[in-house]
Structure 1
């Protein structure tokens, strides 16, 4: 078999496992932007079970999220925590690389133009922050 064919097969198999990632999203039942983010994730191959809650604070606290990282919804996918309107492509990259020093990603707040927060083609620049449960953070990606 040609090396290029072997590489193509390997990449296809590997990306398929990322696309098959599944998890749970914790959100408010009345939040439309959270539903839009769930649709974005499903459109990108993720399988998410939706758990509605009237009080997300205990869930966020248990998962190690600080108030500075908070947004409107929290997902746990393949054992990692994903807070807010993170693009599916960033989560796929994270899961492909599984950084040993990070417990998850967050998009604090609700920036316009992020997945689920689309409005009239208006966009705000925002960062996706990688975090660990011991409080360390780092910029994972930048979206302009």
Structure 2
């Protein structure tokens, strides 16, 4: 009898947890919209980096200049692709971990940028670069 009660209690607890909106919201993959040139291989590699790190990605292959301007990213912080996630702009080869941190901490900011195309950053780390790792900064744009 005691065992049956324990199993019933455990089943009820697991059922309640499965229906919890908090748990289901935490498991949702953040959606990223990316604007890039259709012929840019490093941009596509960055998209794969995001997908491998828990993001749902929608790609627009029509360039990124208009998106960059619309999202308020100054040209001096520019790169080869622009993205939007959770109300923030993401410019260039920003690591997925930094985007997750941005979404968790929610600072008052335009977004993040890795200006240019530094070798060794996500998407710029293909075997063709021979393992080269140039230093780069991830900037919080305000």
TM category, shorter: 0.7 to 0.9
- Which of the numbers 106, 109, 112 marks the counterpart of 1:105? 112
Bigger CA radius of gyration: 2
Gaps of 5+ in 2: 1-16, 18-22
What SS is found at the alignment partner of 1:126? Answer: coil
Instruction: Name the count of aligned residue pairs.
Output: 119
Whole-Å Cα distance in 1 between the matches of residues 95 and 86 of structure 2? 16
CA gap of 1:117–1:109, structure 2 versus 1, over 3 A, is same
TM-score (norm 2): 0.77
Give 3-state SS (helix, strand or coil) of 2:97's partner: helix
Q: Distance in 2 between matches of 1:115 and 1:23?
A: 16
Cα offset, 1:15, TM superposition: 9.5
Residue 56 of structure 1: CA displacement?
2.5
User: If the length of structure 1 is used for normalisation, what is the TM-score?
Assistant: 0.76
RMSD of aligned alpha carbons: 2.1
Counterpart check, 1:59 vs 2:67: yes
Judging by fraction of residues, say which structure has more helix: 2
**Structure 1 segments (4+ residues) deviating >4 Å:** none
The structure where strand makes up a greater share of residues is 1
Query: What's the offset of the Cα at 1:16?
Result: 3.7
How far off its partner does 1:14 sit?
Answer: 9.5
Please give the residue correspondences for 1:84-103 in structure 2 after superposition, counting only pairs within 5 Å. 84-100=92-108, 102-103=109-110
Question: 1:25-61, CA deviations, whole angstroms, 9 ceiling, x for partnerless residues?
Answer: 00000000000000000000100100011x4222211
